[in-house]
Each structure stands twice: as C-alpha cells, then as structure tokens.
Structure 1
Amino acid sequence: MFGTPHELQCEFTLSEIQGNISSSPGDLLKLAFSTQILTSQPEQLSADNITTAAQIANTLLQSANITEDIAVAAVTTISQLLNASEESTQERDAVQNLTETLGNFSLDQHSNVVQPNLAVQSVQVQSDSVGIQFTALTGRSGNFVANRIHLNTNTSELIADKGGSTDIQIVIKFPPVLRSKNTNNSIGFVLYQNDRFFRSRAFSASSGTSRRVISANLGQVSGLHVEMLFKPTAVPNASLYDFACVSWNYTLKDWSTYGCSKVNHSEDSLQCFCNHTTNFAVLMLFRRDFKYAEALNWITILGCSMSIIGLSLTITFQIVTRKLRKSNPTILLVSVCVCLLIFTLLFMLGVDNPHKQLDKPEIQKDNILPPSDTHTERDRGPCTVVAVLLQYFLLGTFTWNTLYATHVFLVIRNSLATSPSDFTAYTVAIGWGLPAVVVALTLGISYRVDDPLGYRQEEFCWLAALDPKGNFDFKLPMFWGFLIPVAFMLIFNTVVLIYFAVTTCKTNPHLTSTRHTSMKKKFLSSFSLAMVLGLSWILGYLLLITQNQTMYTILNISFCVLTTTQGLQIFILFTARTAIFKKIMADALKSVSSVEIPLHTGRFSLWRGKHRENVESYTQLDTIL
C-alpha cells in the first residue's frame, strides 16, 4: 500500500525552503517533504547544504504546528544527513543545536520514528515503575529497523549480552523520589547510527570509523542510575585496546567522562554507568594486529652468508693490492662493498623486531578519555635504530654505485686512464653525505617517539610502506625516502651501462679469429658493471607493479637470488677473475708441500696346469696437491 501523495515544492532550493519556513508556517508539510527529497543524496551535499538542511530540520521539530508526517519527514532528513561525508559535517553549531532539539522532541512529542540512521522513541512510564530499558538489536544490514528496537517500561536490570545480538542497551533506574510523585514520567530516547553530529576536539577518529550515540532524556532529575551496554565495533586487523564511557557536554562542546565509569567488559559487550541523562557513547581505542615476518628462508641466509664472505674478501683484496692497481678506482669499489657488507650484516642479524606486540591488550580500569581511536606503542629504540642504519647503508650502496657509474662515464668520455684529480674528494663527500641528508629528512618528517610507525614498520625493522588496510601508501617514507631517490640512481646507472656496452662494442668492429673470446670478455665487462651498479634491484620495482601471479613468483625468486648474492657476484667478477688474485692463489698452491704417494702394482699370470712366479714391481710417483 502506498501512502497519501504529497505536493512538493520542486523548484525550491534548501536556502529558499529555509526562508519560506519562517514566512509561511501553513506549508510546513510541503517544505518538509521537499527538504527530504533534496537531501536524499547526502554524499553530493556541500557543507553549506548540510548546515541549511540541519537548520530547516531544527525549525520543523520546534514548530508548534508539527504533525506526525512533518516529524517523520524531519527525522528522515536528519537520518540522511548522517550519511553525509565527514568533511561536510564539520560545522558544529547547526548540528549541535539539532541534537538538543531532537532530545527535547523525544521527550515532548511522544512519537516513535525509526529511520535507517536515526531512531526516536518516546514513552510514558507509570509512577510505580522501577525503571525502563531501551534495546537495539543487531540487524543484518546494519540499519535501524523498527521491529528490532524494544522498550521495557518496568525493569531495572541490564541484560548481559552473550551472543553479540545487542548493539546498544540502556537501563535507567528510577530513584525513590521519582516513584513517590504518583505521576507518569515522560522519557525519550534518540539513537544515532554514528557520531557525525558530535564533533570532538579532544578525541580524533581515524577515517572510516564511527561510534553509535544513544541519548536518554528524563528532564531535570538528579540521582539517576543509568547503565549501558555497547557492542564493540569490529575493526579489521585490530584488537580492542581500551575504551572510555563518555557523555556529551554541551558547555564544553565535547565528550567528557564526568559522572561516568566503566563497569565490565567482554568480547561481546562493554558496560558503563553514569549518574545523569544526556547523549552517551563509548570511545573505543584499537591496536593494530600485526603479522610478524617469518624467519629468513634458507635461500636468503645462504645468499647473504656467501655475500658477506665475498665482500669481506673483496675489501681485503682491494686494500692490500691497491698499489698494484693504480688505474682502478679502489675507494669507489671498497665503499660500495663496505656499505653493502654492513647492510647485509644488519639485515641478517637485526631486521627482526625484538619487541613484538604479541600479548593480548588488558583493558584499564580507569575511565580516561583517549586522544584517538588508534593506539600506538611508544618507540623502544632498537628496531628504529636498525631501520635507520639499513636505510642509510642501502642508500649509501646505491649512491656509491652511482658514483662508480659516473667514474666509468668520465673515463670513457674523456679517454682518461683515471678519473680527475679532485674526483675523489667529491665522491667521499657525496657518497657518505647524501644518504645522511636523505635519512635525516625522512626522520624529521615522519618519525615521532610516540608514533614510530610513521617512519618504520612494526612487522620488521624497515621503512613504513603500507597503510592499515595493507595497501601501498605513497605518503609513507618507503616511497619518497627510498624508492624515489634509488629510482633516479638506477635510471642513471642503466644509461651509463648502455653507454658503456655500446662504446665497448665499437672499439673493435673487425674481429679476428678471437671473435668469440672478445665477445665473451665484452659481455663479462658489461655484466660486471651491471652487478656493481646494483641493476638487479630493478626487479624489485617490477615486483611492485606486476599483477600476474606466475610472473610475480618468477620475479620474486630472481630478485631474492640476485640481490642476496650480489656480494658474491662482486667477489667473483672483481676479485676472483683478476690476474693479481689468480697469481696470488697460484703462488699459494705452489707453496703447499708436495705429497709423495707410493703406488703398488702387481701382475699375475694364470695358466692351466702350470705355475709361474708372481712378478711385483713398485713405482714412486711425485704428485703435487
């Protein structure tokens, strides 16, 4: 069955409706329905539209000519405004006045209106009643439904929820003074789907979270006993850390814990007590649940171990033989190896967070207003220090890689045997100074002692990269404090490698019979340069953008093998293949004493019916091990 059709003022805007309400109270019903229609798409309303609509609803509810239809239209409008964006409902005075008007309306009009985001219940309670109970049960859609909101007008007991079926329950116990008056009592309840109309300065909420608010109105009565039960909000990947029982203070225009205290808590309910009636809520504080990184797999451990050995040998070899290699950039390669060696050691020994948040949070007894709905442990130090050092030495590795590429470019471009005389001084300043500047800026912008996760991750000691939902966040330091500067370095290094390969191939266009050997040497030269320039890290960028699972697995394995064994590759290509190293190893092998191994040989002859003497001989051979 359809309701009675209503004539609408379709040509009016919200501002024009507001002006006509003041001038023509006889057309309230038409204007009320017109306002309802104009606010039916709240996500498209501006902040001015929200303010005007709130003022119109406020005027309608306070009108002396209000009817049930007008009341339903006004409550529906307010319910729709509760779906508006958080930015549009920042204006405080209009919506605060509206909440006060709703409280008075629920107390005076004795009407029951239930809309998806707002429920208004009014009731007359007999004088001999011990109390009243208001209950809102959980629905599948999350919206308020009339048949799931119940009033019990003669009870003073709060029913503990064991199955999580109750969203909110409030019980008001009447004092003896109220029951002795022998007059019926008017009581009003207003249930809000969220706290958009209660903007707090003391409590900041994360984007996308909200709290239900229950308003109880009994007039100016003191000595009340009000108990409430709230169902905890389910936040993905987070656990309840603490909560506060609060009421709205219209003088402070903010939440306050005055007159309220915690009673009990469980997985299904949070219980509160207050000694007055007003707008109540529970401000919940959540702590993120972290999935800590598993222990390093055997591929990573084996690769890093070989890299550590290879880098240590390369550093030692480069320093010891530096006078024999006057044309080679000792300081550049040694600096690359030192940074990479320290990074690899820190990664293996310190990337695991030593202070994991594995214990279940314990709810505090004190009813203290939390500053926000997200709890973050204060920094304990070690994990952040490791993250800082990892960022510094890995950035240092890429910086020295780029300086090495610059050296190669200058040598080829200018046909020099060595780099310019003042090149070393600049490289030392840039190689060790530039990473320090980037790390200092990253810390200054993103790190706070009371919120270290703005800089690093909790799962392991490295730069923060993901938001609480697990999505890559471009505002976090992993992007702008590491990926961006490294990307520029890798682009430059790639250009230098291409330039080096093209120049090398052009040096001998007419190859002789040693063509294959020449091509092999040219390939190894380019491959060696690619390794020392860290170009295998390009695979890491491809991992960030690939969508195909098979390709992701291939790239992931390749990236893991190439990056963890980078130190071993540098050792093989820049140390083990050099003539000096081969000569040192040959001399070392020759210095080992030869071992004399006597070999015994025997010869036997078998003849049918005849016997011959066995002939044996011994030969001594010299074998060099």
Structure 2
Amino acid sequence: MYISCLHVEIYFNSIGNFCNSIIKGGFSFPRTPVGWFAYSNVFCDKKTTGLPKASARCLNDTGSPMFGPLHILQCEITLSDIQGNISSSSGDLLQLAFSTQILTYQKHQLSADNITTAAQIANTLLQSAKITEDIAVAAITTISQLLNASEESTQERDAVQSLTETLEIFSLDQHNNVSLVVQPNLAVQSVQVPSDSVGIQFTALTGSSGNFVAKRIHLNINTSELIADKGGSTDVQIVIKFPPVLRSKNTNYSIGFVLYQNDQFFRSKAFRASSGTSRRVISANLGQVSGLHVEMLFKPTAVPNTSLHDFACVSWNYTLKDWSTFGCSKVNHSEDGLRCFCNHTTNFAVLMSFRRDFKYAEALNWITILGCSMSIIGLSLTITFQMVTRKSRKTNPTVLLVSVCVCLLIFTLLFMLGVDNLHKQLDKPEILEDNVLPPSDTHTEQDRGPCTAVAVLLQYFLLGTFTWNTLFATHIFLMIRNSLATSPSHFTAYTMAIGWGLPAVVVALTLGISYRVDDPLGYRQEEFCWLAALDPKGNFDFKLPMFWGFLIPVAFMLMFNTVMLVYFAVTTCKTNPHLTSTRHTSMKKKFLSSFSLAVVLGLSWILGYLLLIPQNQTMYTILNISFCVLTTTQGLQIFILFTARTAIFKKKMSSALKSVSSAGIPLHTRKFSLWRGEHSDKVESYTQQGTDLSFPPWSTQTSS
C-alpha cells in the first residue's frame, strides 16, 4: 500500500510539471515541461522558412499546467526584416520577439550571420524600455536556442559577448517582476535580498535530460554555506557570503544569476575543447560591491574512458575576451563536486582536463613468441648462408634476399623486445593544488622517448621489408621479361637507394606531419609502441598515420607483388622446359616455386587487410589466427624454402653430421675420412646434375 501511494504521488507530481499534448487554434502541440515553449507540427512552406507556424508556452499560473496564448509566425519574415523593424521602432515588439524565437528554433538552419542577427535582436529587446514579461521570456528563449548553434565568426563572437553582458544587467534589474525564467539551455533568476541576510545560495539540480527546468532551480536567501552534495545530485551551486559592512547598511540588495547550459557564448583561445566537451557557466551579479566571498560547486563532467587530470576555477575577463584565474582558487575536489572560491562576481566556470584511461595490450601470446623466435633463428641462418655462399650463386638475387631478411629480422627483434610500452600510465593522476589554466580539455603526457623511438624503427623496418619485397618482385620481372641471366646494370645501386631510402622518406613525412613532443599520441599509440590508428572512442581513424603512413603504401606494394606472382606463375607454367620429368614432379616444383615467391613477397599480410573488413566472429577468429601464424613464422618459411632446401646447404649439413659422427672413433679416423671423401665427391657430382630448388626456377629460365 505504501509503494502504491508513493507511485501515485510521483505520477501526479510528474503530471503537474507538464502540459499534456493538445490541439489549440488548429495547431497540435506536444507534451511540454512547465515554462518551456512548444512548437506546432504545422510548418511554413519550405520555399519560405520551413519552420513551425506557431508556438505556445506551458504555464502553471493557476496550479494546473496549460498552454498559454498562441504566437503565429508570418512565414515570409526574416531575421533581417525583424532587426530592421526593431531599429526603426516600427511593428509590434511582442510579435517581433516571438517571431525571432520561432526563427531560431532549428539549430541546423542557423548560419553565423543568423546567429549574429538574432543575438543583436535579443540584445535590443532586453534593453528596451518597453519590455514586458512576455517579451523578456521570448528573448531569453531565443538566447537559449542560440546556445545550441555551432557556427562561429568574429562578428558573431562580439554579438554574443555583448549579449552576456546584457543578461547580467537584466538579471540584476528585475524588469516587470520577472523573477525566474527557465528554458532548456538558460536560466535567469532575479531576487531581492534582505539586509540582514548572511548570504544567498543558488542551486541547479541534475536532471535526467541535462536540460534546465524550473522545479530543479532552488534559491536560499539566508545562508552562507554550500550544501554537502552526496551522490552528485547538484549540477551547479553558488553561494555569495555578504561582508559585515554590506549587512550594516540596512538596505535590500538586488542580485541576479544567469546559468548557461554550455560555454557556447564564451569561446576561448587559451583553452581548447578538443574532445567536444562543454562547460556550465554561471553568472552572479551584485553590482559594484567589493569584499565578497563567493564559493561554487560544479559537478565534474563525465567523459567516457577518461579520468579527471586537473581543473581550474576561472572567470570570464571581458577585456581579454577569455578565461582568467585572477581572483579565484581551488578549495577541494571529490567525485561529487569541484569546489572553487572567488573574491568577485561575474561569469564563472570550471575548466576540466581529462586523461584517457588506457587499456594496455596483454603480453605476447605463445603463438607469437614461438613464431617470432623461430623466425629470428631462421632469418639469422638465411642471412649467414646467403653471405657465405654468394659466390656460388651468381644469378641469384643475394642482395635483395639478404636485405629482406635483415629488415624482417630487425623488425621481429624490435617487436618482441620493445613493442610493450615500459612507461605505462597506470596511476591515477594527482590534481594540482595550483589554480592553473589548462591548455586543453584533453591531457597528454609529454613524450619520454623510448616508445616513440621503437614505433619509428618498427615503421621503418617493416616498410623496408615490403619495399625490398617489391624490389625482389621487380628483379624477377625484369629477368623473365628480358631473358637476362644477371641483373641489369646499375640495378643494385638503384635498389639500395630505393630499398633503404623510400621507407626513410615515408617515416620522416609521418613524423613531420603527426608527431609533437607534447602530443606523441598523434603519431603512436599509448597502449603499445606502434602507429596511432584509433580515435578516443575506439573507432578506426583514417586521419591517423596507421592508415596513410603504413596501410596505404603497403597496400600498393602488396598489389604490385600479387600481380608479379601471377605473372611469374603463368610464365613458369608456359615456358619452363626443365620441369618435365613427370607431371607430378613438374606440378610440385611449379607450386613450390610460386609458393616460395609468395612467401618472400610477404603476401600473407593481405590477411591483415581482410581483418579490417567487418565479419562474423568465427571468420574473424580464423583469419586472425592464420594471419598471426603466417606472419610470425615468415622468417622460418624463408629459411626452409631458400636455405634448408638448397643442395649446398644439404651438402654442408651432411658433411657436418658425418664429421660429428666420426669424431668419436679416433682409431679409424684416417681410414674412414679417405672413404668419406670419395663418397662426398660422388654426392656432389650427383647433386650438380639435378635442379637446384633453393630458389624458384627463374634462374633456370633466364639462362636457357
């Protein structure tokens, strides 16, 4: 029974704060909170304004909420027409005020010129000697709607600056007993304070929608303490404590408060809102009174995946046209509120700076560690083998293959040892005691060096690997196309310049465009030492260097390498006369030749691009595992296909194994060694007659 009564009470309270939807004068209006304006669902023709034809305000003068008088828009009228009529003192001031209000209803239709004109009209209305309550409410509603606009120009900035000053004066003067006007983005409160009051408190409570409504605006005209806010129920609270000198004069004082939903009218050059945050701004005006003690409480802004790094208590300086910390200081801070103290009254705000909460990458899994370890061993053996036996393979591209292996080896070593960021930001930031204006609402730690250096080297050597892969493919194409047994003249010099120079150029451009010492995350990630790829919301960002500094150039090289592989496979199948022993052996050798070339050209990295395409979880898991296995073991694959399968390597391994096996029989060493030498000559003679599978058979083709 108690629960039922409670629900009924809440229901009636809710109904008492809204006007229900209604058809009035042929116009339909939706359910609307008390004090707000509703707009009709009948619109002007799109050839004129395309805006609602009528508006009505939800009033609660009689204790039962209902819509007030209709205000109908002349569809042909423009803001420029209204400004001209107000300047010439012609026309109905009330009708012009409501027409301006309706014309600023749609924020996406407001250009910078429209905002400037509307701000000037509202400014004129609030300063008019003929102002009434209805005119004032219409003007304040217009200003509330302008706070939704996003256009900006110098002229518009000056117009809204003048408008904020006018609002301060208006809130102080109490024109026509307009004590409280609350619109979604703006609340204006005027009050007379008795001379014996110790202070005054203005509080705006948090609402589910984030907009202002009259029932959540409270005033206490005889208190000098902030209410302890538990659970974050207060958006903004300000307390003005009166000095004893002021209370001894035995006169009442007018005080005005203006609360802005955001800082759209307070565009700062010293503070950048890079993450799209906004700040509540509250104005307190007591006229020319000094020695005031002003305390404020601001609810911290909630920015997803971030922690509060610092904040500053500021006031708007109309001379500087910017925020200033002069006369203000921090009191304390908690999860429920940020407290400030100032010794004067004007427009106040709290500028908050946030630091991203990073989810650092887990340690490399066993597949990656095992694959990379085997690749490091394989690449080291391949480089050594290619260098030691280079004279016996005059037609083979030793320089190209060694360069591929060197780049891939260094990249793999760096990846295993350095990709993890050693300077993780794991501790919660400590908020400074000094009241210092932050440069931005997003804080980024200055670069410490090592992680960025690793990212630069990883980018360089991985780009270098693909560049040498492409040069390798180009070499194969030229030799097949021109039927050459050796590389063209000066080819080695050109490849050295391109292979080591092109990646350096790309890395230099990437650093020059995206890297800053005070913002290294424009170039690299914080979670691990690699190129930046995601925006703060976790979405892939095409403006970051991962896309244009790596994926784009590598994509072109992979496409070229794929074409070269197809060309090589087709040419091999058509023209190779040496693979004719049997059809089975011929097809096997052709497949191994093409597969060997695909490995050295790094075509397994194409799977990485497929992972960028949205797909179901099963397919993504299969592709991810395949990509991980193939890329981490690329060095091992190169060793098997280009070293372990060669006749020279097999011969040397056979000799080494026989030497080890014979070392344990010293009494028969001389006799066994003589026999072994004869056998060795026969093996060498035999292997020289066969086809060397250490490389795909382009050397056999080109020498024919």
Partner of 2:252: 184
Q: CA deviation at 1:546?
A: 2.9
Deviation at 1:542, TM superposition (A): 0.9
2:140 counterpart of 1:50: no
1:555 paired to 2:620: no
The TM-score, its normalising length taken from structure 1, stands at 0.93
CA distance in 2, matches of 1:90, 1:211: 23
Shift of 1:445: 1.2
Distance 1:17 1:509, change over 3 A: farther
| Mapping of residues 114-153 of structure 1, within 5 Å | 114-153=182-221
| Equivalent AA in structure 1 for residue 331 of structure 2 | V
CA distance, structure 2, for counterparts of residue 405 and residue 427 of structure 1:
12
Which residue of the other structure, out of 251, 254, 262, is the alignment partner of 2:319? 251
Structure 2 CA distance for partners of 1:313 and 1:473, relative to 1, 3 Å: same
Mean Cα deviation higher: 581-590 or 456-465: 581-590
**How much does 1:324 deviate?**
1.1
Contact 1:245 1:283 in 2 (8 A): yes
Structure 1 residues 546, 6: closer, same or farther in 2, change over 3 A? Answer: closer
Whether contact under 8 Å (1:9, 1:30) holds in the other structure is no
Q: In the alignment, does 2:437 pair up with 1:437?
A: no
Tell me which residue corresponds to 2:533: 465
Deviation at 1:58, TM superposition (A): 0.7
- What is residue 97 of structure 2 aligned with on the other side? 32
Deviation at 1:88, TM superposition (A): 6.7
Residues of 2 paired with 1:394 and 1:508: CA distance?
A: 34
CA RMSD of aligned residues (A): 1.6
Are 1:266 and 2:331 matched, yes or no? no
Length, aligned pairs only: 597
Describe the SS at the equivalent of 2:92. helix
Question: Which consecutive residues of structure 2, in runs of 5 or more, have no partner in the other structure?
Answer: 1-65, 666-704
Tell me if the contact between 1:50 and 1:89 (Cα under 8 Å) persists in the aligned partners: no
Q: In structure 1, what is the Cα distance between the partners aligned to 2:108 and 2:502?
A: 47
Question: Which residue number corresponds to residue 329 of structure 1?
Answer: 397
Shift of 1:312: 0.5
User: Any residues of structure 2 matched to 1:43-442 within 5 Å, and which?
Assistant: 43-87=108-152, 91-109=156-174, 110-111=177-178, 112-442=180-510
| Deviation (angstroms), 1:508 | 5.2
How many percent identity over aligned positions? 90
8 Å contact kept, 1:247–1:258? yes
Residue 246 of structure 1 and its aligned partner are, at CA, apart by 0.3
Length-normalised TM-score, structure 2? 0.83
CA distance in 1 between counterparts of 2:135 and 2:577 reads 92
1:566-581 residue pairs with structure 2 within 5 A? 566-581=634-649
- Cα pair 2:579 2:589 within 8 Å, conserved: no
Which has the larger displacement, 212-221 or 513-522? 513-522
Return the match for 2:82 from 4, 8, 17.
17
Aligned letter for 2:77? F
Compared with structure 1, are the counterparts of its residues 85 and 596 closer, same or farther at alpha carbon in structure 2 (3 Å cutoff)?
closer
SS in 1 for 2:661: coil
Could you tell me which of 528, 535, 544 is aligned with 2:612? Answer: 544
How far residue 511 of structure 1 moved from its aligned partner, in angstroms, is 8.2
Asked if structure 2 preserves the Cα contact closer than 8 Å seen for 1:188 and 1:218, the reply is yes
The code of the aligned residue for 1:54 comes to A
Q: What is the distance in 2 between the residues matched to 1:596 and 1:159?
A: 92
CA distance in 2, matches of 1:355, 1:317: 39
- Structure 1 alignment gaps of length 5 or more: 598-625
Larger displacement relative to structure 2 (550-559 or 46-55): 550-559
Task: Check conservation: 1:377, 1:451, Cα contact below 8 A.
Answer: yes
Q: Give the structure 1 partner of residue 21 of structure 2.
A: none
For residues 283-303 of structure 1, give each alpha carbon's deviation from its aligned partner in whole angstroms, at most 9, with x where no partner exists: 001111111100000000000
Distance 1:89 1:259 in 2: 28
The one-letter code sitting in structure 2 at the alignment partner of 1:489 is M
The match for 1:620 is none
- Matched residue, 1:515: 583
The answer to whether the Cα contact below 8 Å between 1:8 and 1:31 also exists between their aligned partners in 2 is no
How far the C-alpha of 1:122 sits from its partner, in A, is 0.7
Q: CA deviation at 1:421?
A: 2.4
Structure 2: how far apart are the matches of 1:208 and 1:62?
33
In 2, are the aligned partners of 1:89 and 1:196 still within 8 Å (CA)? Answer: no
Q: In structure 1, give the amino acid aligned to 2:93.
A: L
> 1:463–1:511: structure 2 CA closer, same or farther, 3 Å change rule?
closer
Give the superposition deviation at 1:104: 0.7
Deviations, residues 541-591 of structure 1 (Å, cap 9, x unaligned): 111123322221111111100000000000011111111111112222222
Distance 1:375 1:274 in 2: 25
Query: Alpha carbons of 1:43 and 1:277: their partners in 2 closer, same or farther (altered >3 Å)?
Result: same
1:500 aligns to what? 568
One-letter amino acid of the counterpart of residue 651, structure 2: K
User: How far apart, CA to CA, are the structure 2 residues paired with 1:257 and 1:72?
Assistant: 33
C-alpha separation in 2, matches of 1:220 and 1:15: 36
Opposite residue 5 of structure 1, the aligned amino acid is L
SS of the residue 2:67 aligns to: coil
SS at match of 1:43: helix
Contact 1:47 1:89 in 2 (8 A): no
1:13-38 residue CA offsets vs partner (Å, 9 max, x unmatched): 01111101122355111111111111
Query: Is the 2:206–2:235 Cα contact (8 Å) retained in structure 1?
Result: yes
- Shift of the alpha carbon at 1:10? 2.7
CA displacement 1:337-357 (0-9 Å, x = unmatched): 000000000000000001011
Alignment partner of 1:6 out of 68, 71, 89: 71
More moved, 350-359 vs 502-511: 502-511
1:50 corresponds to which letter in structure 2? I
Is residue 579–residue 585 contact of structure 2 (8 Å, CA) maintained in 1?
Answer: no
- Indicate conservation of the 8 Å contact 2:259/2:280, yes or no: yes
Amino acid at match of 1:23: S
Amino acid at match of 1:64: A
- TM-aligned CA deviation for residue 152 of structure 1: 0.3
**In 1, Cα distance between the equivalents of 2:134 and 2:474?**
79
Residues of 2 paired with 1:7 and 1:444: CA distance? 58
Structure 1: distance between partners of 2:122 and 2:153 = 17
Partner of 2:701: none
In the TM superposition, residue 201 of structure 1 has moved relative to its aligned partner by 1.2
Q: Provide the rounded CA distance (Å) in 2 between the counterparts of 1:510 and 1:384.
A: 51
SS at match of 1:591: helix
- Structure-2 separation of matches of 1:414 and 1:22: 84
